[in-house]
Amino acid sequence: MTHITPTMLSDGRELIYFDATEASAALHSDPAATADRRGLDPRGTATGDARYDALSGEWVAVAAHRQTRTHLPPADQCPLCASNERYASEIPAPDYEVVVFENRFASFGPQLGSLPDTPEWGTTTTAFGRCEVIAFDPAHDGSFASLSPERARTVIDAWAQRTEALSAMEGIRQVFPFENRGAEIGVTLLHPHGQIYAYPFIPPRAAQLGAQATAFYEASGGRETLMGAALKKERDSGERMILEGRHFSAFVPFAARWPLEVHLVPHRQVPDLAALNPAERDDLTEVYLNLLGKVDALYSTPTPYIAAWQQAPLDARIRPASYLHLQLTSPRRAEDKLKFLAGSEAAMGAFINDTTPEQVADRLRNALPGTPGKATS
């Protein structure tokens, strides 16, 4: 059972402790132990803008205040470490298991509301929504891959709880938990953490996936989902499969865009992380950690990646066809080489992969977790 303890930072932002142990939960229920002693000025309602791009039909957030966000601070000034006598961080408690708090440098929010239904060229509005940070562990070094199974399970519970809570907020159309790992990806804090964005619109990639899924679902008369069909084909073929658990499987997609790309998919159609039952969350913990161990066994150093949870948009037509899955991608194409988006990818969105999905799947299948740079073939 995960204990959930909400509190407030001194500027009015919400912070929530997620604890698997009674002792940690008891610590965080003590106001004296969790008081933010920084005395920050109250946060106002000022936020960035959302501008409508009439040429593409997409919304773009303008968040110039993020230029001043923290960038690769020394370990003794990390805002995601627990506070101590010498330094007060974003996390007031002297210790924690998993914690979620509103981002001080948010791209969306803190105001909630709905975007205009019929925007046109020149439409500018408030960037409604919410951006949260989730610290996976009090240890300064590591990532989700380095978590214990117990801690990883607590993170999954936190993702699920926040998905449900954020989905219920005014104007939210999509909830997106993700982890960026590695300076090569652009990470500005090395402490193991992720983020959760609650958008006031359905982002372009989610809209594209949703449209494809909905068309397939409706053509089948509501009897079959697109991701469910893809998962069955991959499991039947086995050519690109990496792992198969009791409730989750991982495979390299047939038309992978990135040199390293994996889909982690539940065997049962669910719209989001909140809909997973306890047994599915247990299996997700095991399979996900195993997958990340294989990813890190490919090379002698940890591989940078983006782990993106594709959840169902909050749209009555798209949601029945949607199927929760994780898309893990990395630009690393060799030990010492990264793929950078060139003209075809960046300007036209037409990807050209430098690897074959079948070869990547074979390497991942045979990688030995915990043994960097080692595989059985």
Shortest CA distance to 176 belongs to which of 273, 111, 99, 270?
A: 273
pLDDT at residue 375, as a whole number = 64
The superfamily in CATH containing domain 206-366 is HIT-like (3.30.428.10)
What dihedral do alpha carbons 375, 185, 174, 97 form, nearest 10°? 70
Looking at residues 47-64, what average pLDDT do you find? 92
pLDDT at residue 46, as a whole number = 65
Q: Is 60 exceeded by the pLDDT of residue 67? A: no
Sign of CA dihedral 337, 343, 349, 352: negative
* Alpha-carbon gap, residue 2 to 19, rounded angstroms: 5
| Binding-site annotation, residues | 78, 81, 140, 191
Residue 109: phi and psi, rounded to 5, are 90, 180
pLDDT at residue 72, as a whole number = 66
Tell me, yes or no, if the two domains 3-201 and 206-366 fold the same way.
yes
pLDDT at residue 201, as a whole number = 97
As given in the structure block, the two tokens for residue 144 are 């989700």
Looking at residues 260-284, what average pLDDT do you find? 98
pLDDT at residue 75, as a whole number = 79
Using DSSP's 3-state secondary structure scheme, residue 87 falls into coil
Q: Where are the beta strands (DSSP E) in the chain?
A: 3-8, 14-19, 49-53, 58-62, 98-102, 124-126, 130-135, 174-181, 193-199, 241-244, 248-251, 260-266, 305-310, 325-330, 332-334, 337-338
pLDDT at residue 49, as a whole number = 93
Q: Is 70 exceeded by the pLDDT of residue 57? A: yes
pLDDT at residue 76, as a whole number = 85
| Banded pLDDT at 92 (limits 50, 70, 90) | very high
Looking at residues 249-268, what average pLDDT do you find? 97
From the candidate CATH numbers 3.20.20.70, 2.40.50.140, 3.30.428.10, 3.40.50.1010, the one assigned to the domain spanning 3-201: 3.30.428.10
pLDDT at residue 269, as a whole number = 98
Structural domain boundaries of the chain? Answer: 3-201, 206-366
pLDDT at residue 188, as a whole number = 78
Exposure letters 327-353 (e unless 16+ CB within 10 A, then b)? bbbbbbbeeeeebeeeeeeeeeeeeee
Query: What one-character DSSP code corresponds to residue 287?
Result: H
Tens digits of residue pLDDT in 137-187: 999 998 999 999 999 999 999 999 999 999 999 999 999 999 999 888 888
Tens digits of residue pLDDT in 337-373: 999 889 999 999 999 998 999 999 999 999 988 777 7
Place of tokens 């593409």: 56
Tens digits of residue pLDDT in 275-294: 999 999 999 999 999 999 99
Whether the CB-CB separation of 315 and 200 falls below 8 Å is answered with: no
pLDDT at residue 162, as a whole number = 98
Tens digits of residue pLDDT in 320-341: 999 999 999 999 999 999 998 8
**Cis before 320? omega within 30:** no
Q: Is 90 exceeded by the pLDDT of residue 133? A: yes
As given in the structure block, the two tokens for residue 347 are 């300007």
> Active-site positions?
193
Shortest CA distance to 273 belongs to which of 159, 180, 168?
A: 159
pLDDT at residue 69, as a whole number = 60
Residue 332: phi and psi, rounded to 5, are -75, 115
| Binding-site annotation, residues for Zn(2+) | 78, 81, 140, 191
